[in-house]
A and B are shown apart, each in its own frame.
Chain A
Amino acid sequence: FKIRKECSKQELLRILSSASENQLFDIIISGGGMVGTAMACSLGLDPNLAGKKILLLEAGHKKEMDGVPETYSTRVSSISPGSATLLSLGAWDHIANMRCKPYNKMQVWDACSDALITFDKDNLQDEMAYIVENDVIVAALTKQLQTLSDHVKVQYRTKVVKYTWPRPYHVSESIPWVQVTLANGKTLQTKLLIGADGPNSMVRREAGIPTVKWNYDQSAVVAVLHLSEPTVNNVAWQRFLQTGPIAMLPLSDTESSLVWSTSHQHAEELLQLNEESFVDAINSAFWSNENHSEMVETAGSLFRTTLSVLMPDSGSARQLPPSVAGIGPKSRVMFPLGMGHATEYIRHRVAIIGDAAHRVHPLAGQGANLGFGDVAYLTKVLSQAAFNGKDLGKSMQHLLEFETERQRHNLPMMAAIDLMKRLYSTNAAPMVLLRTFGLQATNALPPLKEQIMAYASK
């Protein structure tokens, strides 16, 4: 009995010294993209987490922007009002000072028929959402982080090579924290690891979280478009072509961003085209009606007439997007598209957020917003846990609350996006008729549209 007491004292000393050598953090966030940096900001600004040691690890270099560059960057995101509220804790001011484009209306229509749906707030004065370049978001968040540098630390150009997971139960002579081994050989310890490292998340892989995923046979081509003439550019356009949706998102009165999801082969062809042919392809994709079949058009117009009799106020006139004259100097880029969902967002002392937890098709512009929603809720849950004196990584009750709530929100959204993608990928007449009627019916029901907009704005 006495020997055991002495052993435990030595054990205590050893553990204590190891905790001080390898720094022990309260939270380590792995991945400094939009969502990871937003998580670090959000945790740093929370009053109940004041005094906790937080670290953000990013493999790339620090993204700073003293002033916005002249040219727009190709990767943009649509930021919903809910995400803007999260970012409004400081970072939104920086974004507003740099640049962002609010838009008031969205028109979505089919290439195979005349069906269309428009989303807008009641009076067109209100902003629906904002188009912001990804680089601007990260730079604004980085700037905000610098004001929190006393308890939120960031390490750039830091690559993680290994994660070591602790046992969920208390075992003597083992370290109960997550250990993060860096490429430079150092090992850090943390009570809670948050994985925000993108769709090919190492945290998720190493934690052994099963993921449901598949590749769409599509790639997205992104570019910056110069419009033919300046216009009040506050509408987002999306047309479902046979090969995939093409979207034009406003950046300024003279420029817009292109996101064209199409088959891999077609995407490569588009990249090879010279500038003029590419511009022609874009314009014809938005404007031409060659895919309309007579039957579908007749059926569609009949349905529309019926709806306009039943509900005279609904329905909208179809507008055409502005024509494109040229593209921005930065070259066009393409990247593959897929869907992914982690079956669990949490493990003992681990949580995953953003694209690491869920990856969606860009057709609904929701990828970044789902990630920001994760950030907001996880911060709320951790803040509550800290105010109750709990061990942040061990409090499964709170982590489970985060997982349940976010899965309940994310899964229906992801299912809807996937359904839309599949529905619009076919040219078969029955499906075309179905989606034509569906779209027109939805357009005729303002309450339903309001519900959809409210859900997407969270």
Chain B
Amino acid sequence: MYSKKLARLAFGLLAESTFKCPLTRSVSSVRTLCSWTVCLHHRQKNPLSEGFSRRLTRLNVRTVSQTTLDPAEVRKFQAMASKWWDLQGEFAALHSMNDLRVPFIRDNLLNVHGILQLGKPLAGLRILDVGCGGGVLSEPLGRLGADVRGIDPVEDSVRTAELHSSYDPDLWERVRYQACTLEELAEEELEGFHAVVASEVVEHLADLDAFASCCQQVLKPGGSLFITTINKTNLSYVFGIVAAEQLLRIVPSGTHDWEKFISPEDLERLLESFGFYVEAIRGMMYNPLTGAWSWQQSTAINYALHAIKRKEEPQPGQVWAESENLDEPGRATNYS
């Protein structure tokens, strides 16, 4: 129960702060307050030992979650929840990030599964969008034919997402939203998804191990995990914390905690320990003048990662359980 609240709080951070690029536009003061408060608690976690820190953060979670569920704050979140789909608003860069992440997800899934239907390249695939917010990424994936489930612990974001997708009967059939946490979902949907997308989420989680474990549970064997997040380097400190938060004040102080950024090497090591193998890592860069993202060689600031869940080897006497469309000729199927 406590871990659920922790995860809920952690995912709540996603809805509270804007996209996680270092050069974001202005953020509402309410969001600042909540994220700052939680960041403070998380900063305190570091010098303590694992178990003690977990208890401490649990206590902090309870106090902070009471603050989060304050009706006044919730009303303000509602006001902010409507901003998800303002293409010129605070989430504009998140919308323009779709130009990179949708082709990234689409092409990697097509490499694995092949194109089944013209006009709907992702038809037949079940995708889970973790921390979907207002559905900014879920909708294009739905339009490409995938069966998308978007989850987010903040109910208002989920309502906004539902309302926005309700106008289009095509989307309404293919994209469904649920206000819950990944752990709650993991209990119901064991091995239920062909792909999990966690875009701009992992830099706000307290417990990456739990996240990786849940992803491993909900994915079918051979399924794909897509993550976009921020690297933990001097450069990301300069751009993400110093420039964005302190110098230019594009992002209020405390929105990002540099300690919670994770480098691609560490993330890769973590995922490998949970039964994934990392297939691709690519660097991304945001240009604040044009408002556009582009791929780049260096993963120093933002990066995107594609990992695949290893398939199990058949045990003697057991039935080989494998869903269709997941043949991967040439890939080693060793179980880590």
Contact = CB atoms under 8 A, between A and B. Distances in A.
B164 A16 contact: no
Nearest to B171: A391
B119 A12 contact: no
A11 interface: yes
A51 interface: yes
A172 B166 CA distance: 11
Given A15-B167, A387-B121, A5 B159 contact: yes
B118 interface: yes
B71 A1 contact: yes
A240 interface: no
Interface in B102-143: 102-103, 106, 117-121, 139-143
Nearest to B84: A170
Contacts of A397: 99
Nearest to B134: A170
A390 interface: yes
A44 to B, nearest CB: 11
Contacts of B87: 169, 394, 396
B140 A12 contact: no
A20 B169 CA distance: 8
B166 A15 contact: yes
Contacts of A386: 119, 143
Contact of A12 (B74, B118, B120, B162): B162
A24 interface: yes
B140 A388 contact: yes
A389 interface: yes
A176 interface: yes
A391 B143 contact: yes
Contacts of B99: 388, 397
Contacts of A396: 87
B39 interface: no
Contacts of B142: 389
Nearest to A168: B87
A389 B106 contact: yes
Given A12-B162, A389-B106, A52 B119 contact: yes
A49 B117 CA distance: 11
A24 B141 contact: no
A49 B98 contact: no
Contacts of B119: 47-52, 386
Contacts of B82: 170
Given A387-B121, A388-B102, A16 B74 contact: no
A389 B102 contact: yes
B163 A11 contact: yes
Contacts of B258: none
A386 to B, nearest CB: 7
A169 B102 CA distance: 23
A8 B159 contact: yes
B85 interface: yes
A20 B173 CA distance: 13
A391 B98 CA distance: 12
Contacts of A389: 98, 102, 106, 139-144
A169 B85 CA distance: 8
A103 interface: no
A446 to B, nearest CB: 42
A182 interface: no
A424 interface: no
Contact of B86 (A15, A50, A169): A169
Nearest to A390: B140
A52 B170 CA distance: 10
A392 to B, nearest CB: 9
A400 B299 CA distance: 31
Contacts of A176: 167
Contacts of A177: 167
Most B Cβ at <10 Å: residue of A11, A177, A390: A390
Contact of B163 (A24, A47, A172): A172
A50 B99 CA distance: 21
A175 interface: yes
Interface in A163-216: 169-170, 172, 175-177, 191
B150 to A, nearest CB: 14
Nearest to A151: B119
Given A1-B74, A50-B119, A170 B85 contact: yes
Contacts of B163: 8, 11-12, 172
A19 interface: yes
A367 to B, nearest CB: 33
A254 B54 CA distance: 94
Given A176-B167, A177-B167, A388-B98, A16 B172 contact: yes
Contact of B169 (A11, A16, A47, A48): A16
A230 B128 CA distance: 72
A20 B170 CA distance: 11
Contacts of B159: 5, 8
A15 B120 CA distance: 25
A389 B101 CA distance: 11
15 contacts: A8-B159, A12-B166, A16-B166, A48-B119, A50-B120, A51-B120, A170-B82, A172-B163, A175-B167, A191-B168, A389-B144, A390-B140, A391-B139, A391-B168, A396-B87
Given A389-B102, A389-B140, 6 more contacts: A1-B71, A12-B166, A15-B167, A19-B167, A388-B140, A390-B140
Interface of B: 71, 74-75, 82, 85-87, 98-99, 102-103, 106, 117-121, 139-144, 159, 162-164, 166-169, 172
Interface of A: 1, 5, 8, 11-12, 15-16, 19-20, 24, 47-52, 169-170, 172, 175-177, 191, 386-391, 394, 396-397
CB-based closest 3 A-B pairs: A389-B140, A50-B119, A51-B119
